[in-house]
Amino acid sequence: MRLRCAVLDDFQDAALRSADWTPVQDRVEVVVLREHIADEDELAARLADFDIVVTLRERVPFPASLLERLPRLKLLVASGMRNSVIDFAAAQRCGVTVCGTASSSTPPVELTWALLLGLARCVVTENNALREGGPWQSTVGADLHGRRLGLLGLGKIGSRVAQVGLAFGMQVAAWSQNLTGERADEVGVELAASKEELLRSSDFVSVHLALSDRTRGLLGARELALLKPTAYLVNTSRAAVVDQDALLAALREGRIAGAGVDVYGTEPLPADHPMRTAPRLLATPHLGYVSQANYTTYYGHAVEDIQAFLAGEPVRRLG
């Protein structure tokens, strides 16, 4: 009897097209689930007959309460090598092996600049007007050259965003709790004296921080009030770094020029979520890691993880 493998949240029906699954097809039946299942009871029932689950990034939490209801589950493959929504201790207790995949930082860097440029040059507004017979030029774009780009975080992604900013001729500064002058010098950017100074002085602020107890709610109402009324905020990192209610209030009241957001506290966003209709917001449905190259890696490595597990020698183990 073949094992059964569920591939979760394949919204674009891309999983089977992004990798060669033939190495495991004789021993594994692969079933693609395209619709997101948010309810834990429904998910537990849907996955009850599967031995293997492949999940993308952190779309679906796997707490102890879910893992304990999946006695048949033996292998959980999550794209990327870091995952905050899997209870690894519970997985171990339940006899579930958890494996990851490689992941490129290039796609979120590129999407960060897509959002920033889209905001600066009012691309959506002008495109809609052109297609709908609206005014020919109704906005005046913001310049990048000579403006200040403030980065919250200067890790793998933040440093690459910085390099693009420098190529545009921007003044680039960065801040995080652990950022040193030596690291800033390596990247060729200024170390901001404080978070507050970075926010006050920047024309564009982009968030590139991992979510932790220290970064959760790092930008609240007080911090957002420090931004210039002409400033733009971009968050392709983690929704919880920015207080969502405070951001919505700032956008509605016109206290900042705009925001570009790719991450949300609830995903997919409910149809009536205020983020869907907020003014001055350029929003994308968590596309940061969604690119053909990344999907090829995710699903290609998922196949390798399954092969290795079947051979009794799991690779890229997490937890």
Catalytic pick from 69, 267, 273, 316?
Answer: 267
The total of other beta-carbon atoms located within 10 Å of residue 172's CB is 24
Report strand pairing: 281-283 vs 258-261.
parallel
Rounded to whole angstroms, the Cα distance separating 160 from 60 reads: 28
- Tokens found for residue 223: 């911090």
Rounded to whole angstroms, the Cα distance separating 112 from 283 reads: 11
What stretches of the chain show up as alpha helix (H) in DSSP? 40-46, 64-67, 88-93, 106-120, 123-131, 156-167, 181-187, 195-201, 221-224, 244-252, 292-310
Task: Write out the DSSP string of 75-119.
Answer: EEEESSS--SSB-HHHHHHTT-EEE-----SHHHHHHHHHHHHHH
286 carries an active-site annotation:
yes
List all residues 6 or more positions away from 300 whose beta carbon is below 8 Å from its beta carbon: 18, 19, 20, 101
Residue 313 CA from chain centroid, whole number: 30
Phi, psi of 301 (to 5 degrees): -70, -30
Rounded to whole angstroms, the Cα distance separating 114 from 284 reads: 10
User: Residue 153: enclosing H or E segment and its boundaries?
Assistant: none
Catalytic pick from 147, 238, 301, 304?
Answer: 238
263, 238 contact by CB (below 8 A): yes
Catalytic pick from 57, 160, 286, 301?
Answer: 286
Active site (catalytic) residues: 238, 267, 286
